[in-house]
Amino acid sequence: MSSSAETGPFRTDTFAGVAAASPGEGRVRLRTLVLIRWVAIAGQAMALLLVRFGLEFEFPFVPAAVAVAFSALLNIVASLRHPTSTRLGDVGATAYLGYDIAQLAVLLYLTGGLTNPFCVLFLVPVTISATILSLTSTVMLGALAAVCISLLALFHQPLPWSSGGLVLPMTYIFGIWAALLLGMGFTCAYAWRVAEENRRMSEALGAAQAALSREQRLSALDGLAAAAAHELGTPLGTITLVVKELARELPQGSPLAEDVALLTSQTERCREILARISRDPQEDDSAFAATTLSGIVEAAAQPYLIDDINLTIDVADAALRGAQPRVARSPEIMQGLSNLIENAADFAQSEIQVKLDWDQRQVRVEVADDGPGIPSDILGALGDPYVTTRPRSGGMGLGVFIAKTLLERTGALVRFENRLGRGGRIEGATVAVIWQRDVLEAKVG
């Protein structure tokens, strides 16, 4: 998200990374790869012992045994140095599987190359990569396996089949080489495609579950707000009555008159807010009337035009940016923007700046204040319920959560960041609300 100083053309990748996790982060548990390697080590050891001592074939047994023992040593070290719950990203898992390919190539070089029927095991690491790692990692491992297969077709020790070793014609070796490469390509392409579809389904399901959870929490808050409006009506009426009695009893010119007048205005505002919460939005057709972007922002900012905070609304030049977008005067947009401006007013020292900008693709509203900014430890979590920078008695952290949820219902992307000045000093906070223009204007009836 750009800082509040940016009001020029939009970046085209604003929505490119929405809800996207870091690529390759925690794709597979180390324990899974360790167990797979233990299975491979057991199979390799049994094959070496059977061929050398059961069939009594001569081959470089000691170098082959060293290669297997080194893999076992790496497995032991990995198990001791890392907990079983450790998850590897793309880089770590690729290196892990790349070693398995290289180790298999060494064993096959010592035992006949592509004439060894176990050369088909080259498919295993690359297929595993296709199911759990990124396409880039799979291509890299496939290229490594292809290089090893090609070298083994030309350079290898003879297969210990007879006293002179088994020698097969190059035509047959080429057939095995081609079969391995084609089989690896088709198998990995199919496995990657199926795994990618499953990943997309899982991501979509996760996003749907997260959205449903947010909807459920907001619905619970709706009921809580209605109950609070009902319960607060009586004590608020009592407070209003007492304040009016105080106003009548104060002598003319009393220094407390201004404070009592402020209390009266604030109690009236509370009554209006409770009435708005209790009213069904569908009863007022004007709430859904179309208006300009600046019109709906000005309406949302109206309650916060207070004397000690300078609130300015900076609208982009229509001559340069084109006509303003038409926006539905929906309760979600009104309440969401209102909550964000109220939050800025609570933290601002002297100024709030609301900037409006748009182009043919996107619409952007920025609310910036000159307050202390957002602590880095909660910046990423801001917008979740009960996350707040206020003192314990200053709020529950639901205002920003409600604003973010309501605005996201309308298709907006809500982003938070600190405004940085010279030397990286924090000069306030900025929240940007970004819509795709066609989505926003489609809601205009």
**pLDDT digit string (tens) for 260-288?**
888 888 888 887 777 766 665 444 444 44
List, as one string, the DSSP characters of 371-404. SS---HHHHTTBTBTT--SS-GGG--SHHHHHHH
- Whether 205 is covered by a domain: the verdict is no
Number of other residues whose CB lies within 10 A of the CB of residue 231: 11
Share of the chain above pLDDT 70, in %: 78
The pLDDT-based confidence of 84 (bands split at 50, 70, 90) is low
Distance, CA of 65 to CA of 218 (rounded, Å): 63
Q: Residue 132: which of 205, 62, 27 has the closest Cα?
A: 27
Tens of pLDDT, residue by residue over 410-444, are 888 899 888 887 777 888 889 999 999 888 887 66
- Regarding whether 252 and 315 lie in a shared domain, the answer is no
Q: What is the pLDDT of residues 123-159, one digit of tens each?
A: 999 998 888 888 898 999 999 999 999 999 988 888 7
Query: For residue 219, is pLDDT > 80?
Result: no
User: Would residue 45 count as lying in a domain?
Assistant: yes
Residue 263 and residue 356 share a domain = no
Displacement of CA 171 from its chain's centroid (Å):
52
Residue type, 14: T
- Domain of 221, CATH number, reads 1.10.287
Please report, for the domain that includes residue 398, its CATH number.
3.30.565.10
CA 81 to chain centre: 30
Q: Examine the domain organization and report whether 270 and 311 are in the same domain.
A: no
Structural domain contains residue 7: no
Cβ burial, residue 411 (10 Å; 0-12/13-18/19+): middle
Instruction: Tell me whether residue 299 is in a domain.
Output: yes
Whether 24 shows a pLDDT value over 50: the answer reads no
Final residue of a structural domain among 278, 305, 324? 278
- If one counts the domains in the chain, the total is 3
Summary mean pLDDT of the chain = 79
Residue finishing a domain among 168, 184, 202: 168
Judgement on whether residues 270 and 293 belong to the same structural domain of the protein: no
Mean pLDDT confidence for 246-272: 81
Classify residue 340: in a domain, yes or no.
Answer: yes
- Residue 56: HSE in the Cβ half-sphere, 13 Å Cα cutoff: 0
Among 240, 263, 278, give the residue marking a domain's end.
Answer: 278
b/e per residue 315-346 (b: at least 16 CB within 10 A): bbeeeebeebbebbbbebbbbbbbbbbbbbbb
What does the angle CA 41 – CA 121 – CA 158 come to, to the nearest 5 degrees? 90
DSSP character for 86? -
Can you tell me the mean pLDDT for 5-22? 37
Angle between helices 135-154 and 90-110 (to 10 degrees): 10
Exposed/middle/buried for 118, CB within 10 Å: 0-12, 13-18, 19+? middle
Is residue 52, in this structure, part of any structural domain at all?
yes
DSSP 289: -
- Indicate whether 302 and 270 sit together in one domain: no
Domain that holds residue 159: 28-168
Note whether 428 and 290 are same-domain residues.
yes
Q: Could you tell me which residues come within 8 angstroms of residue 395 by beta carbon, excluding any fewer than 6 positions away?
A: 388
- Could you tell me if 151 and 271 lie in one domain? no
Has residue 73 got a pLDDT over 70? Answer: yes
Shared domain for 254 and 385, answered yes or no, is no
242 and 314 both lie in a single domain? no
Domain match, 44 and 72 both: yes
Identify the band that residue 105 occupies on the pLDDT scale cut at 50, 70 and 90.
very high
Check whether residue 85 and residue 123 sit in a common domain: yes
pTM: 0.46
Residue 194 falls inside a structural domain: no
Integer Cα distance of 289 and 329 in angstroms:
5
202 is a domain residue: no
Contacts of 436 (CB under 8 A, 6+ apart): 15, 361, 362, 363, 411
Q: Is 429 in the same domain as 315? A: yes
For 192-231, the DSSP string reads: HHHHHHHHHHHHHHHHHHHHHHHHHHHHHHHHHHHHHHHH
Contact between 68 and 44 under an 8 Å Cβ cutoff? The reply is yes
